[in-house]
Chains A and B, each alone.
Chain A
Amino acid sequence: MYFSKEMQESSLKLTRKWENEVQKALKNNPDQKERFSTVSDAEIKRLYTPEDIKNIDFAEDISVPGEFPYLRGNQATGYRGRYWTFRMFSGMGSAQDTNQRWKMLLHQGQTGLSTAFDFPTLMGYDSDSPKALGEVGKCGVAIDTMEDFMTLMEGIPLDEVTTSMTINPPATVLFAMYCAAADIKGVPLTKIGGTIQNDMLKEFIAQKTFMCPPEASVKLISDTVEFGTKFVPRWNTISISGYHIRESGSTAIQELAFTLRDGIEYVEDVIHRKRLDVDDFASRLSFFFNSHSDFFEEICKMRAARRMWAKIMRDRFHAKDPRSMWLRFHTQTAGCSLTAQQPYNNVVRTTVQALAAVLGGTQSLHTNSLDEVLCLPSEHAVEIALRTQQILAEETGVANTIDPLAGSYFIEALTNEMEEKAWEYIHKIDEMGGMIAAIEKGFPQMEISEAAYRFQRQLDAGEKIMVGVNKYSTDAAHPIPLVDIDEKVGEEQIKRLKDVRRKRDNKAVKTSLDNIKNACKKGDNVMPHCIEAVKNLATLQEICDVYREVYGEYRDPGLY
């Protein structure tokens, strides 16, 4: 940042004076601890001054919203035209249960849907697979066939509401179901909007919801990107996610670096495999970050992410369209920061984390419910979480002005520092031959494991604090009502699945599955064949089994 010579001199002089004062004061009143660091263990200075940001070039490094490097936001108008999307992740039990919860949320003022699937669905198994034992409907909604999906979407206007689906290995299948649902309801594909998470690299790195090996997984993702680009233009075909990387114990910088490097890997694959121009599809890539408890670190992470992605798109991929350079992202507050002890404190944590996401300029936000560390959220808890967002947006005034923290010595210095360290990671992974190669070496996995273990040790040693867990703990319990998913949900789901298998045209199912297999073998786009298969009532697992057969199955390498 430009500072006049006089100002620089007076700043240095004053800073030195302050340093002397600090030294004097410390003799009588030492600091509470030796080292002050973020939740990610990045050391923070006592004071930031103009000295810390003197090398910043305003036009090149900061600029205004809607201008490169988009540090301050993609849109010139900020939140004044429109708040972020209030998007609460939900799904439970049967398709009908979830449909009811969705209608409640829309009624309460939620502006977008977000689907949580149960583990069998997430992993590409039907509810009656032996692997699904005990899991059906537990962590989200169970979807086996197109019939379940139609129940899920009953009464939902697909041309008005956008839907996000947290689905990864079977993303082609769920995307196909959404397209088929639009078809059946008579809504053109050009009118539907939403997101599939469809980010497999972070699964290998962090969340471990995987099916096929990395390369084949990326191929399937490129299929959806190509299909979306050509036929479903309002669909975000990937949500490149740092959320799960962070939840598995990474630092903020690792989250930032690995997520953007994953993004690079996808862009490269689509360009090479599909021969698409970067500007044809890059504007439909979306991102998903975590908002953890260290307030300023999170804000700086999100700001740095925007600036870095803009540089990546401009300098690495030579994108011309500004929209390709925009990093649009959804944020979820940090599930791993919630405590089972004194669960009402979670409301406060979530509020601060949500505020960080807003000040970081998120496009969409899920606020965790206070009971999510214990079970699926109750209606009441979800309502409080949604109200948290509404209070931030409409009472606090934080959305009145764009990027209000810009120009702060600390914020700009920390944004720069995080960006610099994230580049180091990205360059290292480039040298390894890209993210797939790095994953095969176990590099990101082991970096995260180190960080997670360090944090746990610091927690045990009392160097990091979680209120109610390792400090201020009490024996007094304030129990909260828990949501319980009845084991009957599974039984009923299996019954529905068996009915579908009985009544469908099995010959048509076989033909459409064969078509998918051929497309896989030839390297063709599987999407049109998937849509046909789900319409013929092929089950989720039947389609995924084709992928497993052709591409092989990836198993946890067990890095620790």
Chain B
Amino acid sequence: MDSTIKKICDGDVRSASRLIRDIEDKLPDARAKIKKLYAHTGKSFIIGITGAPGAGKSTLTDALITEFRKKNKTVGVLAVDPTSPFTGGAILGDRIRMLRHAEDTGVFVRSLATRGALGGLSQAAGNAIHVMEAMGKDIIIVETVGIGQQEIDIINHAHSVVVVLVPGMGDEIQTMKAGLMEIADIFVINKANRAGAKQLQTELTSMLNLSPKTADGWKPPVVMVGNAFEPAEFAKDTAGLAKKIGEHHLYLQKSGKLNERMHRKAMTEIRDALGACLMEPVLHSLMESGELEKFSEKIRNRKTDPYSVAEEITEKFFQKRGKA
């Protein structure tokens, strides 16, 4: 076995974090390593946590780590933060709420920036998850800001999806818009000590009652989590959340739905890989040659339309491929 792969499978943090870096930086070698690594993946239980900025996701993740560690489960966390569109830089601040686990060798926390305009975030996240799976982490938590399609794509890598809402942020409507309603397996009303929590719970429950999803045997529960500054209460609430997540995992296994989720995940992975193998090199080469800008100009001036452009590009690239 490749020495890096062996090290990662033995749980070596340095090699794992370096491979994740290679994936993010799109080093050609990284893809080859993932191919070799893939056989060692697929055994972890993956939880997606999403919600608006400030909803308290990292604090919940921190509490969940504590719960899972109590049961001797090893945990990987992938925390996604946005890249500044202006400078390409990013400040990755999620792990700050998980620092008490920093010295626990059973916990591996890695921050991921959303990076460039060409996409590929879902792919990077998916592969980072593979690295953590190969490390043998029992549970992997993926934390994203649930506001864009990109983030929803990442969530498709998860088996169970937790959507975090906070009373008074008006995010219930956003949630509907962002399509999170369809993918949520568990809702958390966080900071439930705040005014409006009960009302949000009522609204959410009645909305869920209308949803066809309730017919398939799993009705997404609404878990109330109180003030993180009331340590005893908060620990009780988050233990309750961990339990619900466990129940959902069990439900997935027993109902055969886990297979469906694995299918969803596989589809996402195929789409990501296609993106990486087809779309990215095409877009990249068009960008470098300046053709992309020219196409855009032609479209703007209504000299052509996007479909004709796409057809032209497809023809050109497939011809090239055929010749090669």
- Tell me whether B229 and A560 are in contact (CB under 8 A): no
| CA A97 to CA B47, docked complex, whole Å | 56
The residue on B at minimum CB distance from A437 is B194
User: Is B93 an interface residue, CB under 8 A from the partner?
Assistant: yes
User: Is B99 an interface residue, CB under 8 A from the partner?
Assistant: yes
- Tell me whether B229 and A215 are in contact (CB under 8 A): yes
Secondary structure of the A side of the interface?
loop
Nearest-neighbour CB distance to chain B for A433, whole angstroms, equals 9
User: Is A557 an interface residue, CB under 8 A from the partner?
Assistant: yes
Q: Which of B40-73 contact A (CB under 8 A)?
A: 54
How many interface residues does B have (CB within 8 Å)?
Answer: 12
| CA A442 to CA B96, docked complex, whole Å | 15
- Tell me whether B93 and A558 are in contact (CB under 8 A): yes
Q: Write the A544-560 contact mask toward B (1 if CB under 8 angstroms, else 0).
A: 00000001111111111
Chain A residues within 8 Å of B229, by CB: 213-216, 551-552, 554
Known: A556-B96, A558-B96. A441 touches B54 (CB 8 A): yes
**Number of contact residues on A: which range applies?**
10 to 19
Nearest-neighbour CB distance to chain B for A495, whole angstroms, equals 28
Q: Which of A484-519 contact B (CB under 8 A)?
A: none
Chain A residues within 8 Å of B231, by CB: 551-553
Chain A residues within 8 Å of B99, by CB: 555
Q: Which of A316-331 contact B (CB under 8 A)?
A: none
Q: Which of B214-244 contact A (CB under 8 A)?
A: 228-231, 234
| CB-contact partner of A557 in B91, B96, B230, under 8 A | B96
| CA A555 to CA B96, docked complex, whole Å | 9
Q: Write the B84-116 contact mask toward A (1 if CB under 8 angstroms, else 0).
A: 000000010100110110000000000000000
Known: A214-B229, A552-B231, A555-B99. A560 touches B54 (CB 8 A): no
The residue on A at minimum CB distance from B91 is A560
Q: Which of A189-220 contact B (CB under 8 A)?
A: 213-216
Nearest-neighbour CB distance to chain A for B166, whole angstroms, equals 11
Known: A214-B229, A551-B231, A552-B229. A557 touches B54 (CB 8 A): no
Chain A residues within 8 Å of B230, by CB: 552
The residue on B at minimum CB distance from A212 is B229
Nearest-neighbour CB distance to chain B for A542, whole angstroms, equals 19
Interface centre among B54, B91, B99, B229, by most A CB within 10 Å? Answer: B229
Chain B residues within 8 Å of A442, by CB: 54
| CA A216 to CA B229, docked complex, whole Å | 9
| CA A553 to CA B62, docked complex, whole Å | 14
Chain B residues within 8 Å of A213, by CB: 228-229
Interface centre among A554, A555, A558, by most B CB within 10 Å? Answer: A558
Nearest-neighbour CB distance to chain B for A538, whole angstroms, equals 22
Nearest-neighbour CB distance to chain B for A446, whole angstroms, equals 11
Known: A552-B229, A554-B229. A560 touches B96 (CB 8 A): no
Known: A216-B229, A552-B229. A560 touches B97 (CB 8 A): no
| CA A560 to CA B89, docked complex, whole Å | 14
The residue on B at minimum CB distance from A560 is B91
The residue on A at minimum CB distance from B96 is A558
| CA A551 to CA B54, docked complex, whole Å | 22
Chain A residues within 8 Å of B97, by CB: 555, 557-558
| CA A442 to CA B93, docked complex, whole Å | 14
| CA A555 to CA B229, docked complex, whole Å | 10
Chain B residues within 8 Å of A553, by CB: 231
Chain A residues within 8 Å of B93, by CB: 558-560
The residue on A at minimum CB distance from B99 is A555
Q: Write the A440-454 contact mask toward B (1 if CB under 8 angstroms, else 0).
A: 011000000000000
Chain B residues within 8 Å of A551, by CB: 229, 231
Assuming A441-B54, A558-B97, A560-B91, what are 14 further A-B pairs, CB within 8 angstroms? A213-B228, A213-B229, A216-B229, A442-B54, A552-B230, A555-B96, A555-B97, A555-B99, A555-B100, A556-B96, A557-B97, A558-B93, A559-B93, A560-B93
CB within 8 Å of A: which residues of B? 54, 91, 93, 96-97, 99-100, 228-231, 234
CB within 8 Å of B: which residues of A? 213-216, 441-442, 551-560
- 19 A–B contacts, CB within 8 A, in A order: A213-B228, A213-B229, A441-B54, A551-B229, A551-B231, A552-B228, A552-B230, A553-B231, A555-B96, A555-B97, A555-B99, A556-B96, A557-B96, A557-B97, A558-B96, A558-B97, A559-B93, A560-B91, A560-B93
Closest 4 CB pairs of A and B: A213-B229, A552-B231, A558-B96, A558-B93
